Homo-oligomer: A and B are copies of this chain.
């Protein structure tokens, strides 16, 4: 049991049609960890600067998150600044400051290398590969990316994807990566290079999973009256997905349930800035919303 995640820990500045926030907690590995920690033990692999206030994430220790792979380096923490217009499906980047991320070399604590599950959250694909190489006996691995890496290191992204069990990717990103507008064809191009599951994230349209077996699975997005801030929704989805999978042990039989749990976590996360909403909910809330999701597609 246990999950290793590598990705970013960041200070985000975000503007949406509903509000604005400066230097709030974010980053792909942090969102993932907060979500997954509802279900299982997580070891986070990331780098932060000396300016990072560790007290703000100390609650994760009570949830059995290991910080042994969280490195504090000289310099400032990674920063992202962006905004969303009413079409909340698309983030617009205003500024990216890599800072300590520039020289990050993710060395895994020995204990991490023997974990069952691995999530390669959005970060330089060369770092994702370095982490993958250190793992000794992974039972189930998944990877995410973003358009920035597809533009600059497409082959490395494909190499990562060829070596994991599942890929989680945005609708626009898989179209760009495969140069294929149709999602059935785009997903097949990814399935052909290795993974058994291609999980396409479509924001307010939910999640679409293509299986190597030819099966297709859909989960709608939770119909919210207000999507306040979509930042981190994809990483939160992945955290719920992988966290639930790890808590159940058997992968195949639980994969579809896990996709719904991921959707539940993501639906909470977009209700407030950062992962603030996730700090207000309990495992019971999550299970209740899971049952609501089942009802959305119930026929009789």
Q: Show the binding face of A for B, using Cβ within 8 Å.
A: 86, 181-185, 202, 204-206, 208, 210, 215-220, 223-227, 253, 256-257, 260, 294-300
- Whole-angstrom distance from the CB of A160 to the nearest CB of chain B? 25
- In the complex, the answer to whether A225 meets B297 with C-beta atoms within 8 Å is no
- In the complex, the answer to whether B225 meets A182 with C-beta atoms within 8 Å is yes
CA distance A94 to B101 in the complex (A): 51
CA distance A195 to B183 in the complex (A): 35
- In the complex, the answer to whether A217 meets B296 with C-beta atoms within 8 Å is yes
- In the complex, the answer to whether B208 meets A253 with C-beta atoms within 8 Å is no
Q: A202-B205, A218-B218, A218-B220 are in contact. List 13 more A-B contacts (CB 8 A).
A: A86-B181, A183-B223, A208-B220, A208-B223, A210-B223, A217-B296, A217-B297, A218-B296, A218-B297, A219-B297, A256-B299, A257-B299, A260-B299
- In the complex, the answer to whether A225 meets B296 with C-beta atoms within 8 Å is no
- In the complex, the answer to whether B300 meets A257 with C-beta atoms within 8 Å is yes
- In the complex, the answer to whether B205 meets A296 with C-beta atoms within 8 Å is no
CB neighbours of A215 from chain B (8 A): 295
CB neighbours of A220 from chain B (8 A): 208, 218, 220
CA distance A206 to B223 in the complex (A): 14
- In the complex, the answer to whether B184 meets A216 with C-beta atoms within 8 Å is no
- In the complex, the answer to whether B182 meets A226 with C-beta atoms within 8 Å is yes
- In the complex, the answer to whether A296 meets B216 with C-beta atoms within 8 Å is yes
CB neighbours of A205 from chain B (8 A): 202, 205-206
The residue on B at minimum CB distance from A209 is B296
- In the complex, the answer to whether B224 meets A184 with C-beta atoms within 8 Å is yes
CB neighbours of A181 from chain B (8 A): 86
CB neighbours of A217 from chain B (8 A): 296-298
In order of increasing CB-CB distance, the 8 nearest A-B pairs are A297-B297, A218-B220, A205-B205, A184-B225, A218-B296, A256-B299, A184-B223, A86-B181
What are 18 inter-chain pairs, A to B, with CB distance below 8 A? Answer: A182-B225, A182-B227, A183-B204, A184-B223, A184-B224, A184-B225, A185-B225, A202-B205, A208-B220, A215-B295, A216-B296, A217-B296, A218-B220, A218-B296, A218-B297, A219-B297, A257-B300, A294-B299
CA distance A185 to B224 in the complex (A): 9
- Whole-angstrom distance from the CB of A13 to the nearest CB of chain B? 24
CA distance A246 to B223 in the complex (A): 29
- Whole-angstrom distance from the CB of A172 to the nearest CB of chain B? 12
The residue on B at minimum CB distance from A215 is B295
The residue on B at minimum CB distance from A220 is B218
CB neighbours of A219 from chain B (8 A): 297
